[in-house]
Structure 1
Amino acid sequence: MDPIAIVVTALVAGAAAGVSGAASSAVQDAYTGLCEVVRNRLGSGRGGHGRPAEIVDAYRSDPVGQHDRMVAALTTAGADQDRALAEAALRVLALTFPGSADTVARYAVDLRDARGVYVGDHGTQHNTFS
């Protein structure tokens, strides 16, 4: 899963936990922290998609309708390179879906300049490089 998808998934998970009323104070704090990190990242990015607080608030109220806007804003802001943002997202996922953050982090790999890569479990790959 790419870093931006992890952030968007964590935003949805945090919002869903809050709406259901099942969110503990730890989940609420982690989700609030994630939203703040997202706002900061969007504020430091190249912009073009609206004000950071407006983007986050719109996404929180309508994640389905605002999905493309959030993904575009995060992409433009370079969120895929933001370690603090990734850590905040994984924290929310770990609290909302125990055990999921390890799975998500396991597949959040940077494969730029990689050759002959296999990602997954229980597969076999044979490479021959010349």
Structure 2
Amino acid sequence: MPTMRYCILQQETELIFVEMPADYAYQLSALILRLNKEVDKLTADNVPALPQAVAECDSLDLLRESDQIAGGLDYINRLEQSFSSIQETSYPLISLLTEIRALQAQLEQWYEEAAEESESLL
């Protein structure tokens, strides 16, 4: 079983728990930090609200039934969709989308390889 890490993000008063392959958790945290640094430069009206990266941890036990763990690829897919819908003219949005899509591609490959590995064990 591959090692997973958890990225804890905070959007306003809500905590978001994202399960990531251990080798990619830091990349998600760094991406969120970078997006937060750049998002104020966007001039479009439909810029999505971004969470803040709060913490990373190796294990996570949720104690409230209302909390859920988001899969890393699902989370990055939603992030990519929200940024690809921005109608930006003044800021080079493509550089931010490129960073999001690079992590997205890495995660897609990781999940494909993990699925193949688990099938070969059966």
Which TM-score band applies after superposition, normalised by the shorter structure? 0.3 to 0.5
Flag the structure with higher strand content. 2
TM-score normalized by the length of structure 1: 0.35
TM-score normalized by the length of structure 2: 0.37
Higher RCO structure (Cα 8 Å, ≥6 apart): 1
